[in-house]
Amino acid sequence: MDAEVARSARTRDIELKLLLDAIYLRYHYDFRSYAVASLRRRMTAALARFGCETVSQLQERLLHDPTTFPQLLDYLTVQVSEMFRDPAYFLALRERVVPLLRTYPSLKVWVAGCSTGEEAYSLAILLREEGLASRTQIYATDINPHALRRAEAGIYELDRIALFTENHRRSGGKSSFSDWYTAGYGRAVLDRELRRQIVFSDHSLATDTVFAEVQLVSCRNVLIYFNRPLQDRALGLFREALCPRGFLGVGARESLRFSAHGHAFEDVARDERIFRKRAGA
């Protein structure tokens, strides 16, 4: 590598490591085990947003101006989601998982890394349609308080609703998606009944522990941002939280094959990435 370019890349990586340490020490958010390639990209975007030349400059601002961190957090955490994303996943949940969930008198579902709530509300609608809502509690967790507040509001831009509606239809939706929201002023406000089914709360897969026994964990496109050890930690939490023979759903191109906990799960719907905890695991 060109010596100067190599030096600046190395310097940037040192700065990034120091920044993550600073965030951890000052704000107790632990990004130190996030996948580096994604962090570098997000940091580049953040530097442009904050008008900083170097990561060190951003670090100085971060440590001395407490208003900076909440804004940076939006760059470091996933904000991209949509309702019924990957309709085949929700269809497989309906067909392969719901029949077994019906056998439980009460149900708990954990949406880990819920961001702005789209996935949690999708599951709330699905469980309603399947007649399981009255016995189900959904826990939706994330580390970003700003995202959690938006999730709690359950208000989405109206121009996203066409996509949500089409996804819902393809997911085997048994109702009309328009039954679940009220439109006005360019926004769609989700049915408050859905909101009542979900507890949104702050939880970190990097630093917190298990808080409940659940029958289903849905954690999609969150683990991709973690390095292998942190993925193992998160999957370990899911394994511990799941009841015997409980279900786990991950993102379309996420895999348990490369994890220390892979052997604890078996396929339920291979293409849709739905797994079930093995007996005794």
Which lies closer to another protein via its Cβ, residue 64 or residue 253? Answer: 253
Token pair of 218 as six digits: 């849905």
Minimal distance in Å, beta carbon 139 to another protein?
Answer: 22
Decide if 273 contacts 250 (C-beta within 8 A): yes
Q: Which is nearer to another protein, 116 or 197 (CB)?
A: 116
Site residues (vs another protein, CB under 8 A): 1-2, 5-6, 9, 35-38, 40-42, 78, 80, 221, 223-225, 227-228, 231, 251-255, 257-259
Contact in structure between 130 and 191 (CB atoms under 8 Å)? no
Closest CA to 198 of 126, 131, 115, 136: 136
Residue for token pair 């941002």: 225
Closest approach of another protein to the CB of residue 80, in Å: 5
Nearer to another protein, 162 or 252 (CB): 252
Given the complex with another protein, which of 36 and 183 has the nearer CB atom? Answer: 36
**Shortest separation between residue 112's beta carbon and another protein, angstroms:** 15
- Shortest Å, Cβ 2 to another protein: 4
Q: State in angstroms the smallest separation of the CB of 84 from another protein.
A: 12
Q: Nearer Cβ to another protein, position 48 or 252?
A: 252
Among residues 126 and 235, whose Cβ is nearest to another protein?
Answer: 235
Instruction: Give least dist CB 7 to another protein, A.
Output: 12
